[in-house]
Amino acid sequence: MEVKEFGIKVVVLEPGMINTGFNAGVSQNFSYESKNGAYSHLVNGYIKAMENNPAPGSGPEVISRTVLKIINARNPKTRYLVGRGGKLLVGIRRIFGDKFFDRMMLMSMR
């Protein structure tokens, strides 16, 4: 709102699960770096959660296509939910609230 008078349109792009190769890097690097750290239980839980979720995410091209769509739109929407599971995750957060969503995410990493 505060930048509207300058002709700047703010758009929020909320990605769901996107295949980026990030998980492979987490498994290889974070577990070594965080082996004895304060967050080791969360890192290990995250790695287990990703290994137990074989469903593929969307390809990264869905993000680039959406960014191109936003750039070319005369009047873009305020929010874009992109990728597998994006709408579901945002819906859960809206219905049940942030605290529930955060607990759910933490439980998935145990």
pLDDT at 61: 95
In angstroms, the CA 47 to CA 108 distance is 10
Q: Residue 78: what pLDDT?
A: 94
Quote the percentage of the chain above a pLDDT of 70. Answer: 88
pLDDT digits (tens, 9 = 90+) for 48-80: 777 777 677 889 999 999 999 999 999 999 999
Mean pLDDT, range 16-41, rounded to an integer: 74
Count of domains for the chain? 1
Q: Which domain holds residue 15?
A: 4-109
Q: Report CA-CA distances (Å) from 48 to 23, 54, 74, 84, 106.
A: 11, 11, 43, 20, 12
Residue type, 71: I
Residues 6+ apart with CB under 8 A from 57: 16, 17, 18, 19, 83, 84, 85
pLDDT reading at 34 higher than 70: no
How far is Cα 98 from Cα 38, in angstroms, rounded to an integer?
Answer: 24
Average pLDDT of every residue of the chain: 84
Residue 41 confidence (pLDDT) above 90 = no
